Amino acid sequence: MTVSFDVFLSHDHDDFALVDRIEKILQRIKISAYVYEKYPRYGEYIPEVIKETIKDSKYFVVFLTHEGIASQWVNQEIGIAHAFDKLIIPVKDRQLQSKGFVELREFIYYDPLSPEDMIYRLIHTLRWRLSKQQAAEKGLALDCKCGSKFDDTLPSYEEVNDAIRKEGVFVYKCPACSGEIRVSPASLEVL
């Protein structure tokens, strides 16, 4: 039995740090993301687990980095997503060439030295697509330095774009200690 996720994040293990960062942001805005390393199912046949999870996910994001393009697993996962008619959202290193099904899709380009623009575009794309299916404005999960965890309002697209234009940040107040929590408008990461 698989758990249903909003998005499947297909990646090579060497890209785990980037994918983990993105998964944490998605978790903060209450979009569930499958990352293989975080959901081990010991004793089960890995190809079947991957196939079922892709089938049960709403969207499929593939990280086409140098390692990702060369990975047999990533390429097989792309084929599975295509077979299940999933919307494939490719995140591609600007320096690389790719072939196959994903080459015919619009990419979110990725600069390994500055991933913030890619993160913004990916988060924005997933929020927009999921808002068509569910209440995407579920909230923003925040953790304060005092140890308190709470939810607050997720900024609208207009508020995010306005804050980016003005080079501002979002400031939230912890209900437990009244401390400020500053959040990047582009990545929705705590600063």
* Domain range list for the chain: 7-131, 140-183
Mean of pLDDT values over 6-26: 96
Q: Say which residues have a Cβ less than 8 Å from residue 180's Cβ, sequence separation at least 6.
A: 171, 172, 173, 174
Residue type for position 96: L
pLDDT over 50 (residue 136): no
pLDDT above 90 for 100: no
Tell me the residue type at 29. Answer: I
Is domain 7-131 classified as CATH 3.40.50.10140?
yes
Task: Please check the confidence at residue 1 and state whether its pLDDT lies above 80.
Answer: no
pTM of the model: 0.81
How many residues belong to the chain? 191
